[in-house]
Amino acid sequence: MRRIARLLLETQQINASIKSAKDLVDPAHFDDVILGVNICSGFDTSNQNFEAPTLAKKLGQSLTTLAEIVIAESIKSSDTLQECKAEQFLKLKNLQWKQRIATKVYKQQCKQKWQKPKKVPLTADTVKLNQLLTNQVCTTKEKLQGNEVSTSTWRELASLTLAQLIMFNRRRPGETQYLRMSDYLEQTKKKREFQDEIFESLPIAQKLAAKRLTLIMTRGKRDRGVPILLTPDMADSVKVLNKTRQIAGSIHKTHTYLLAHQETLFSRFEVMIVCTNTRICVGPKILTD
């Protein structure tokens, strides 16, 4: 409620009759509240821009929350007058807030998004990181396949494999992180069949990729299917992890996720930051964006 406190101080400068936060949700003070929001967020009337558009947006959300709190407290205390004022304020906000604040904020944020320069990872950095991950995966995999099976080694290979999957697929990290063991095993058992007409229409590179890569469908946002592709090396790493997960004692039998440790999941952001936090990359932060 710090934003509301800040807004209250500004509106008190405009209208001295506003004494407390509940006075902000009085429809009679709606115009003063709008002016206070503009002052708090640094609205410039000459170019119709806010210095802090996000603050203006969040103040609208805070005012709605405040009005709902006032309504709840008014119902408890049987204060029908205050309840009616807060309800009327919400109606007025629904009618005028979009035109007077929200639309301006949206247009400005869209413009800022368009004008913001997009930084693309350097090809050299991507190649170096990929080579580093490949070398580390090979070393760790040899340890697991040998006599050096341990929880730390298993976790290291799992985190490296997760980083490779995220980099290769360029998907939302969560979609890769929440890949389930049952989905992986079920889909890898099935032999993929290609329709002859479609397969023959593909370029040679895509034909080779279709035969070489392993496709796993996982759940994404709004229950949409998200394809995750695995190279032969990644598939081999997953195979090694599955074979040694119980021996290494790093994960419980009932754990449903493919890449996890003990009772929790790897933090995909920490994994990527650790992997890119090396001196071989010129712009490591861009790789994790």
**Span 166-222, pLDDT tens digits:** 888 877 767 777 778 887 888 887 777 777 788 888 888 888 888 888 888 888 787
Residue 177, C-beta contacts closer than 8 angstroms, at least 6 positions apart: 162, 257, 259, 265, 266, 268
Confidence at 64, pLDDT banded by 50, 70, 90: very high
Q: Give me the residue spans of the domains in the chain.
A: 2-115, 123-288
Tell me the pairing of strands 260-261 and 264-265: antiparallel
Per-residue pLDDT at 280: 47
Between CA 118 and CA 84 the distance in angstroms is 49
Between CA 189 and CA 214 the distance in angstroms is 11
Between CA 137 and CA 163 the distance in angstroms is 11
**Span 238-270, pLDDT tens digits:** 888 888 877 766 555 566 777 765 544 555 555
123-288 CATH, one of 1.20.120, 1.10.357, 1.10.443, 1.10.260 = 1.10.443
Angle, in degrees to the nearest 10, between helices 268-276 and 151-169 = 90
Q: Specify whether the CB–CB gap between 124 and 281 falls below 8 A.
A: no
